[in-house]
Amino acid sequence: MNSRMKSVPQSLQRVFWSLYGRLAWDAARSPWKATQVRQIVEILKGRQVVPAEWVLDAGCGTGDFSLALAKAGFQVIGADYAEGMLARARAKMTGELANSLSFEQVDLNRRLNFPDARFDHVINISVLQVAAEPTFTLGELWRVLRPGGTLVLLHVPQSDSYNLPLREAIRHRIQDLEMKTLWRVALVATKVWAERTGSTRFWTAEALQEMLKSSHFRVLSVDQGPPIVIVARRTESEQNPA
């Protein structure tokens, strides 16, 4: 783990992401989110064997992917460790989704409170890069996924803005905010600073494929994006990497 990451207590990180979820996450315009939500739904529909299969949205944020999958007919558990994220996600739920979607507070840095092979599919959307130990997190996702089940990993690679001076990078990110309140600006600036000081990892598609293979997933397809979208499956014969 990066030494700077060790210096930030998990409790403080949880508070930050809760505030970010409540105040800034949905206020940031994303050029790719709507397209990627549709892409992930189409991928899982294409991998679906029987109706109402179970999906774990591991690191669900404010729930956009979870909601879309539930509307598409899947049974979905959206999991995140930041209560602020979950509060925003639950606020988006409608009564018609009550039987097919739930949100739970789950820490992807710890053993997941789900039995082995619990899910038919797992999605991990721009979350692995902030995990304390990515290989441990992948091992847990492998464990709760049934043999033959699908993992969809989305990773936003390092953008050109990371080559800008810190002040310019913050200004660039703030431009994407709707209703630039003081809290939102402060949270976005903190996030950009944290990314610059090692709290976020960035990988190439090739590095992600190697990581998945070492965690006993079989890579099925790679979309270079950006963002990078990799579809993999848990094979029948592999042993638990943990």
Tell me the range of 131-135, 141-145, 201-205 where mean pLDDT is highest: 141-145
pLDDT at 241: 52
Q: Pinpoint the alpha helices (H) of the chain.
A: 3-6, 10-23, 33-47, 64-71, 83-91, 134-144, 166-174, 182-196, 205-214
Query: Residue 139: which of 122, 120, 157 has the closest Cα?
Result: 122
What is the rounded distance in angstroms from the CA atom of residue 167 to the CA atom of residue 205? 29
User: Are residues 202 and 227 in contact, defined by beta-carbon separation less than 8 angstroms?
Assistant: no
The mean pLDDT value for 109-137 works out to 95
Encode pLDDT of 210-233 as tens digits: 999 999 999 999 999 889 999 999
Query: Token pair of 187, please?
Result: 């949270």
Mean per-residue pLDDT over the chain, rounded: 85
Q: What pLDDT, on a 0 to 100 scale, did the predictor assign at position 238?
A: 53
Distance, CA of 142 to CA of 235 (rounded, Å): 10
Selection from 17, 59, 31 nearest residue 151 by Cα: 59
Q: Is the pLDDT of residue 3 over 50?
A: no
Q: What's 3-234's CATH class?
A: alpha beta
Domain ranges of the chain: 3-234
Q: Pick 95 or 178 by higher pLDDT.
A: 95
**CA 219 to each of CA 116, 171, 234: distance values in angstroms, whole numbers, following the listed order:** 21, 38, 9
Beta carbons within 8 Å of 119's beta carbon, 6+ residues apart: 54, 55, 56, 77, 144, 145, 146, 149
Q: Which residue has the higher pLDDT, 181 or 198?
A: 181
Comparing 239 with 63, the larger pLDDT belongs to: 63
3-state secondary structure at position 152: strand
> 165 or 149: whose pLDDT is higher?
149
pTM for the complete prediction?
Answer: 0.84
Structure confidence at residue 162 (pLDDT): 61
